[in-house]
Amino acid sequence: MEQKEIIEILKNDNADELYQKAHKTRVENLGHNVYLRALIECSNVCSRNCLYCGINRENKELKRFSLSKDEIIKTAKLAKELGFKTIVLQSGENQVYDLKTMCGIIEEIKSLNLALTLSLGEKTFEEYKQYKKSGADRYLLRIETTDENLFQKMHPDGNFKNRVECLYNLKELNYETGTGILVGLPNQSIESLAKDILFFRELDADMIGLGPFIPHNKTLLKNEKAGDLELTLKVMALVRILMPNINIPATTAMETLSKNGRKKALISGANVVMPNVTPILNRENYSIYPDKKGVNALNKEELKKLYKEIEEIGDKVSGGFGTSKNFKKINK
Ligand code: SAM
């Protein structure tokens, strides 16, 4: 499938067939297993000023927090007790955890026999290398958009080439590498979405996370229109068809835009859900966009409801680590 065909599909209003095909592709290649990842938002301190993001450094009204190493480990242990096999450690871009501290955190989480995904932003090759040596398995770094002009507008202090390089560094270091985009950024074209999809394939990403852009009232984009759920789902379905073996989360932003966003994603190609285990007191301050509707894993009833929702669509929560089937481990 090339750019022209992808554009045609993205422009087509009737997407039911596309969603069905994506679901069939997922089931044929990965079966009915859904993998849960426990998300720990460990710090909202951020040195960047990404225009769309509510935790960007210019939001002076936000109460900043950083979990201590002990708090992170305690939360990871709790996630393990709740049955999770993977921890996702995410933060704003900061140096709150120096290299030694972060490597210590990684080692302790890995000693719990859990898979670990990091999502800490752009780091140097050496930092990624040391995290990997300490045991980190996966890294998630969305490219956000491959339209370089748009990227530069959205990230005034960012550098597109550096972000791409980070992704290739992660691949080289043999991380299970995840990337993704925001769908519906102001002035984002359908053509650029098609290029984003082709970029995922070229990178040979192991996981792709897509979210609709949701305006945050404390950012410069507060008056912009939110991204469209159907368009996000179409991009996701196409990614599934083109990359049958990768992991794709039904993202919280999808659920935030529509009550059934998660369910729709799970029957249109997604195979992962990331419930939130961040300590409740800190959670509202990790406000990348307003009204986040993620699954609160600390509420047993809510977690049970998620299991039920997954069973109702004919899937089951897997007890495995959920390593991407696309991932080719290199023994160095
Ligand atoms: N600092 C890390 C990084 O740069 O990858 C991870 C943290 S960042 C807050 C996590 C993700 O939140 C980003 O990749 C972005 O796509 C998403 N995000 C931020 N603001 C958003 C918004 N207004 N609407 C939807 N998603 C948003």
Task: Select from 262, 214, 209 the least CA-distant residue to 240.
Answer: 209
Please give the residue range of the domain that contains residue 300: 3-317
279: in domain: yes
- Full pLDDT tens readout for the chain, 332 residues: 899 999 999 999 889 999 999 999 999 999 999 999 999 999 999 999 999 999 999 999 999 999 999 999 999 999 999 999 999 999 999 999 999 999 999 999 999 999 999 999 999 999 999 999 999 999 999 999 999 999 999 999 999 999 999 999 999 999 999 999 999 999 999 999 999 999 999 999 999 999 999 999 999 999 999 999 999 999 999 999 999 999 999 999 999 999 899 999 999 999 999 999 999 999 999 999 999 989 999 999 999 999 999 999 999 999 999 999 999 887 66
Structure tokens at 85: 């096999």
Count of domains forming the chain: 1
Ligand 1 geometric centre to CA of 17 (Å): 30
332: in domain: no
CB of residue 121 inside a 6 A radius of ligand 1: yes
Return phi, psi of residue 187, to 5°. Answer: 70, 20
186: in domain: yes
99: in domain: yes
Site to substitute for ligand 1 among 66, 288, 292, 293, most atoms within 8 A of C-beta: 288
Ligand 1 geometric centre to CA of 288 (Å): 6
151: in domain: yes
Residue 221 alpha carbon, nearest atom of ligand 1? 23
- How far apart (Å, rounded) are the C-alpha atoms in residues 91 and 76? 15
325: in domain: no
CB of residue 53 inside a 6 A radius of ligand 1: yes
11: in domain: yes
List, as one string, the DSSP characters of 21-79: HHHHHHHHHHTTEEEE-EEEEEE-------TT-TTSTT-TTSPP-B--HHHHHHHHHHH
Is 144 in contact with 164 (CB distance < 8 Å)?
no
List, as one string, the DSSP characters of 132-148: HHHT--EEE---B-S-H
pLDDT for the residue 6: 98
CATH label of the domain that carries residue 162: 3.20.20.70
Ligand 1 geometric centre to CA of 295 (Å): 18
Is 193 in contact with 238 (CB distance < 8 Å)?
no
188: in domain: yes
